[in-house]
Amino acid sequence: MMLAIGAINGLLVGLIAEAARIRYLNYEMSEAAREYAPTAWAVDFIDAYWQPLLPLICVITFAAVSYIIQRYFLSYSKRLLFIWLLLGGIAVAAGYIMSTANPNVLSYFCLLTFAIISYAVYRLWENRVQTFSMIWLAVGTTSVIAIAFGVQLVGLFHYWPELRGSPLWLLGLLGVIGTNFIYGSVVQFVFDRWFSRWYTQASVA
């Protein structure tokens, strides 16, 4: 059940992220086309189209993370915090070493904010481990860190400077936390209604 619910969560996040990616790239293309319009240069600009890669990555990651957290970390929340720190540290180190541009003050500020938000999510989840809305906050944070970790390791072989920006990952974390809080609240509501109805029917029987 957690695999299925996690996959649905990942699909939702992936579709939102893909829509944001397309919108941003098309905006960048339109701005570039506007800048080149007054010049004598002949430049072709193309529109970004939907691709299944990002939703697929999110489905797989969120499903796996949901199952692993439910199976191994509900009673051992501090271990999950340690994994966040470990993966986050490796990701930051890999990004710093292989990045084509030096980090600026904004980068450090975004990383610090990312860490503070992640710790806040951990504390909320630790206090309400069995609450679905809190579980999905932990799932979302873990998934973002796992995906960032994977992207930075792939970056050891290919330069993707646009995927190394700390503000991008901070925005991604905030978006996933918002989406997952709503998603977890809906799942909590559905399960509460279902269990309430089942309990009422069992009592009548």
- Per-residue confidence (pLDDT) for residue 146, from 0 to 100: 94
DSSP letters of 74-108? SS-HHHHHHHHHHHHHHHHHHHHHH-SS---HHHH
Range of the domain at 130: 2-204
Prediction pTM value: 0.85
How many other C-beta atoms can be found within 10 angstroms of the C-beta atom of residue 44? 5
Mean pLDDT of 104-125: 91
Query: What's the structural domain count of the chain?
Result: 1
Report, in this order, helix, strand and coil percent for the chain, each rounded to 5. 80, 0, 20
- Per-residue confidence (pLDDT) for residue 204, from 0 to 100: 46
Mean pLDDT of 21-47: 75
How many other C-beta atoms can be found within 10 angstroms of the C-beta atom of residue 114? 23
| Length, in residues, of the chain | 205
